[in-house]
Each structure stands twice: as structure tokens, then as C-alpha cells.
Amino acid sequence: MSNLSVVLVGCGAPLRSMGWYHATQLLNEKNDICARLDFIVEPWFMSDAGKSSPGSTEFADFQKEAEAKHGIKFFSKVEDVPPVVEGKRLAIISARTSDNPKLFASCLGIGCHAIFLEKPGAPSVAELKNMQESAKKLNVEIFMGFNKNVSKYSEKARQYASANAGTKVTFYHNNNYEDSPESLGECFERNAEGMLKNMAIHELALAVSFYNVSVETVASVEADREYSRMQTLPGPSGKEFTDFSKLKFTITTKSGDEVSIAADRCGGDDSIGLVTDKAGKELVRYTMPDPEDSAAIEDAEKRIPGAMPYFYVQDPDYFKLKQRVAQAIATGGSAEGVATIDVAVETLRVAEYLTPTLMEQLK
């Protein structure tokens, strides 16, 4: 049995929330993640208000099964998790972005040796920097859930472009929301931090990690007006939100590096690394899911039918992320390819820097 104990913070609704999917991967005995899920903290569904909200019945059923079958202990607050008895403790925080700073501080308070933090980490650069400094003072290592940093498709696209001078890479990210005001309005409200801080943050992390992109190095950013669409829509609360339902743009750095990013909330459930020549002619494309991972994806679909489609597509990468993080904690080594909170801070800075410029260009 692994000596690395995991506290999952923010389980959310079964079949819909990434926290719940983290739990299913950790509890799958076929996965060699080298970590043991011991505690789940669910602030919403275990609150008085959340116990009767949509998804609460499904969560209660999941809780009963996890307690009976795996001995998982559930809490409504991080502070209620028992102290570390032996070994090391990893917290996986997969909650609403606005709740992350408080939950992060609480995880530091229960003796976590490392924290795996889902993107973008915090609502603002200032908050994420505070979290970075707090962890540094306690010598707690922070890993980020930027799964595309370890994806095969992005790695292959970068390698091909690097080996062929004069080529250009565009990273496409598609989600499968229904193209309707109701569906997109719900999406805009639930992800109120905006597309660049949420959906496209993965691609921005690639730009920061591998293309020398930072606020200080950006020379220009240009939106593709023909591809992009910015909308103002009411969410379920009735409040209006302005965000991108589709967005494509090219970043050029002061040193001449160039990378393009395209995100479509209603474009499907795949991601693509497209390499073109100077004239824009396609040379090669790599996709996620990678054909080599088809068996793992099919297995996930059979084991847990009815989940959000992108969970299955990203299953191999999220498994790889947790496995590399767990091994790094156990050995004291590095987690190959896994983004750190330093990358996250710069990525969030870039997102905040680019958003008003792109919105202005698309008015």
C-alpha cells in the first residue's frame, strides 16, 4: 500500500466534476498512481444549502459507496481532516476558482507536504502569488493540473515544429457545450473568470512553458476576427456575462517566437496541435485523444458511463499527471513536464494581460 495519503478537496457532482473524476482514478485499482485516497472534503454538497441542490442525491450515493467500499472519510471542511500520522500527504484541490485561496491556506494548515492545484489556481495574479509565497515559507511543493503540458499531441507538435524551420504551431481546444444562449450562459456564469483564465488557460500554459511567452516578452497579440465570437449572455442567476464562445489569436514575442491558440466551447471534445508552413498550408496535425490511448479511453467509458465526454479524452493525461506527482513526492525528484505554481503565476498574468486587448479587438 502506498505511503502517500491523498486529501481530495472539492469532489463536486458525480459524472460532471473534475474532483469526482480525480477520485475515480485514484480508486481504480488498475491505475498504478502510487497514492492512497483517504479523505474527501466537499464543502458544498455537505452544507445545509447543498444537501438539497441539484446533484446532491448523486453525491450522497457516491459518498455511501466510497465509505463502504474503500473506507474513505468525508468532511465538509478541510480543518476537520485528522493530522498526518505517518508518511506524506498530498492535497488535490479541484474546487471553484474563487474558493481556492481559502482552501489552499487550509490545506497548508493540515500538514500537507505537497498540493496539486487545478487550473487556473486562483481568481487573480495577486492571490496566486500570495499562495505561492505561503507554500514557499513552509517548503510545500505545488503542482498544477495543466494536463496538456504532458499530452502526447502537444509534445509531438512541438517536436515536429522544432525539427522543421519556418513552421508555425496552432493549439486548438474544443469543448462540446450546446451552441445555445442557455447552455453558453450557464457556462459563462459557472466559469465567470473568463475563457482565458479557464478553458484556454491550458494553451496559455503551453505558450508560457515552451514559447518564451510572458507579459514582458509579448510584442503583439492579434485576434482572428473571422473565427472568434464574443457574446453577452444571461446566466442561470439572470446576471449577464460577457465572454468568448470562440476565440483564436496569435502571440508574437519580442524575440520572434510565435504561437497561435484557438478555443471553441461548442467545437467538440478534442484538442489539436496543428503545424503549418509560412503560407498556412497544413503539414501535420496531432490530436488528443492520441490513437495510442484509445484502449484506455474506451475502458474509462465502459467503467463509468455517462460522464462528461472530455473526462474520457483526458483520462490518460490526468492519470499521467497524478502518477508523476506521486512519484516525485515519494522519491524527492522532479515531476517531468508537470507545471509548477511559478508557471501558473506567469500564465495567469498573461491571461489577465491579454483579455482586455482581445475583447477590444473583437468589439
Digitized pLDDT (tens) for each residue of the chain, 363 residues in all: 578 999 999 999 999 999 999 999 999 988 889 999 999 999 999 999 999 999 999 999 999 999 999 999 999 999 999 999 889 999 999 998 899 999 999 999 999 999 999 988 999 999 999 999 999 999 999 999 999 999 999 999 999 999 999 999 999 999 989 999 999 999 999 889 999 999 999 999 999 999 999 999 999 999 999 999 999 999 999 999 999 999 999 999 999 999 999 999 999 888 999 999 999 999 999 998 888 888 888 888 998 999 988 898 889 999 999 999 999 998 899 999 899 999 999 999 999 999 999 999 999
Query: How far is C-alpha 58 from the chain's CA centre?
Result: 23
Q: Are strands 168-174 and 258-264 parallel, antiparallel or unpaired?
A: parallel
User: What is the spatial distance between Cα 97 and Cα 308, in angstroms, rounded to a whole number?
Assistant: 19
Are the C-beta atoms of 42 and 11 separated by less than 8 Å? yes
Nearest C-alpha neighbor of 205 from the set 146, 125, 255: 146
Residue labelled with grid coordinates 492512497: 36
First to last CA, the chain: 56
**Global confidence as pTM:** 0.88
Query: For residue 230, what is its C-alpha cell?
Result: 464574443
User: What is the spatial distance between Cα 42 and Cα 59, in angstroms, rounded to a whole number?
Assistant: 10
